[in-house]
Chains A and B, each alone.
Chain A
């Protein structure tokens, strides 16, 4: 759980958005108004599916199939959630998803930081080759590994286990790249001073470097956690036992099996609502770290 708490503890980066001088407040030109209108319309279109989902989850079956459609339910009901929880053991899948995501996050934080530190701050033979490997790994599509990975996991008897779900994602190239970029900005003098005081590399890494890159760790936590939370293809392949399904696999199985969902859009919307809500809350609370991460990984 510590991994999920970490990002919240990090102070938000100072806003880079310029503070407008007073007096500019009035919309001098109609151009600005037009921009606002365009953006508002765009945002409405973007959020329509979410709103539709959220409202539909609380609709009665008659309102769900009403034509013309009813946006806001007149009579709010929890029946959809109740029916869904009767048919689908969501708390179990939720826990599976949380356990896998937390393990993936923690291992990424540790392993990616370690290699990031080595690549950014240690001179060693083969460093450039390893960095080349990391960059190459960024470009390989995940689908290329699925088949042998399944065979390997079957051989290791890790199908239907947390280990089988976690190991392939325990250290991602993206994380290494991100950590390296951030760690490079730490002044060498600081580390050399510590070295002269007799500090070992592990001590320097753990006690000096890691505390300095907390914002990067926060960004990496979010990306690793959400990547795991939203992952679908591998959990779909690596689990046969429904008790080991993660949330997306459980929801997809439920949604694509006509016998289970029985075409009940209410139940499906309730399910989607429960899967999407935690992610949206996490995102809105920590949105600054997202854009930072994308910009860092993307620009340099």
Chain B
């Protein structure tokens, strides 16, 4: 990777004399003596190779992102799907309405609930499994890794259908366990207080594998000498974990926390398939709310405003996490 830093510095110099093959600043030492293809060729090739991606990116990403922003300031509705330009500009009305909309506030709260409980649980359990796998288990490591990672790759809709059945109060798996020990099984997904925790349990089950894989990679990057030295100095397991493992895992911890948080803030499929947001909107998340407003009721301007509020929240939290966790490193 060391070549990377050397190369990254170059384009700036290239800009000084584009199109000339004899750029005097072409590079340090021997590089100058070598025959290089003219900068013009590399420029043309670079842009030709970038074009397909850039076209797709512009049409299907940059444009929609901008369009969502514009739409959020209009009363974009069903009729505007065929006549987009007829939508009326209404300023910040959608945004103003959002914060008086109880349903939206509830969906915001539900999403926050999901993230605040779900993220730490996922990170913690993922870390525990990774540490267990990395300590003293060599033989069956692949086997266990595959087992813990499997839920990540499976189709979420199918998995949500399965969980619905697992949690079914009359003939589900967990209900069965309750009856076996003589308890009345609760109606997990039908209860306002239990529906969200059930969904969090499922999300943790499904996403723990990603975090685990990241932590395993992070743990393996820690030089064995460091651990050995700590052991020689008489550090116990817990001490070694706290003083060596955790500090050296900070970058991984940061990355895992950020991507898990972003994923959980967007939670959609789980409530869509398992509860449709119910009971009494107790599992209505921002994404599900946005989908409904946009594609069931065709309040697309309003839904766009929701999308942007969520986006701003995600950006804000990501920046905050990067700050907080980075500062702790020092």
Contact = CB atoms under 8 A, between A and B. Distances in A.
Interface of A: 16-18, 20, 29, 31-32, 35-36, 38-39, 42-43, 45-50, 52-53, 56, 64-69, 110-112, 114-115, 117-118, 122-128, 130, 133, 137, 139-152, 154-155, 167-168, 170-171, 176, 184-185, 188, 192, 195-196, 201-202, 205, 226, 229-230, 232-233, 237, 247-249, 251-252, 255-256, 265, 268-269, 271-272, 275-276, 279-280, 282-284, 287, 290-291, 294-295, 298-300
B114 to A, nearest CB: 15
B161 A255 contact: yes
Given A38-B132, A290-B149, 10 more contacts: A141-B314, A145-B68, A147-B64, A151-B300, A152-B67, A248-B156, A248-B157, A255-B164, A291-B216, A299-B221
Nearest to B167: A49
B194 to A, nearest CB: 18
Contacts of A279: 153-155
Given A56-B165, A67-B176, A150 B295 contact: yes
A115 B53 contact: yes
B154 to A, nearest CB: 5
A124 B34 contact: no
Contacts of A115: 49-50, 52-53
B4 interface: yes
A39 B318 contact: no
Contacts of B135: 35
B46 A141 contact: no
A32 B237 CA distance: 13
A130 B162 contact: no
Contacts of A152: 59-60, 63-64, 67
B42 A145 contact: no
B121 interface: no
Contact of B56 (A145, A171, A192): A171
Nearest to B44: A124
Nearest to A124: B46
A191 B163 CA distance: 52
Nearest to B256: A298
B183 interface: no
Interface in B200-244: 205, 208, 210, 213-214, 216-218, 220-221
User: Which of A53, A65, A143, A151 has the most chain B CB atoms closer than 10 A to its own CB?
Assistant: A143
Interface of B: 1, 3-4, 7-8, 10-12, 14-15, 18, 34-37, 39, 41-50, 52-54, 56-57, 59-61, 63-65, 67-68, 71, 76, 80-82, 84, 129, 132-133, 135-142, 144-151, 153-159, 161-166, 168, 170-173, 175-176, 179-180, 205, 208, 210, 213-214, 216-218, 220-221, 252, 255, 262, 265-266, 268-269, 272-273, 276, 287, 290-291, 294-295, 300, 303-304, 307-308, 310-311, 314, 318
A29 B163 CA distance: 38
B176 A167 contact: no
A233 B81 contact: no
A111 B162 contact: no
Nearest to B272: A252
A256 to B, nearest CB: 6
Given A35-B132, A287-B149, A276 B82 contact: no
Contact of B291 (A185, A233, A295): A233
A-B residue pairs, 3 tightest by C-beta: A124-B46, A69-B176, A148-B67
A145 B30 CA distance: 48
Question: What secondary structure prevails in chain B residues at the interface with A?
Answer: helix
Contacts of B148: 42-43, 46
Contacts of A282: 153
A147 B307 contact: yes
B11 A124 contact: yes
A168 B62 CA distance: 11
A184 B1 contact: yes
Contacts of B307: 143-144, 146-147
Contact of A255 (B63, B273, B308): B273
A128 B11 contact: yes
A142 B155 CA distance: 17
Nearest to A19: B138
A167 B60 CA distance: 8
Contacts of B18: 125
Contacts of B65: 140, 144-145
A50 B214 contact: no
Contacts of B269: 232-233
B171 A67 contact: yes
A144 B68 contact: yes
Given A144-B64, A275-B155, A295-B217, A53 B162 contact: yes
A184 B4 contact: yes
Contacts of A140: 61, 65, 311
A64 B142 contact: no
Contacts of B39: 123
A252 B270 CA distance: 11
A17 B220 CA distance: 10
B38 to A, nearest CB: 10
Contacts of A185: 1
A249 B161 CA distance: 12
B147 to A, nearest CB: 5
Contact of B60 (A38, A149, A291): A149
9 contacts: A20-B138, A49-B159, A145-B65, A146-B294, A147-B71, A147-B76, A252-B273, A282-B153, A294-B214
A137 to B, nearest CB: 6
Contacts of B205: 45-46, 49
Contacts of A167: 56, 59-60
A144 B137 contact: no
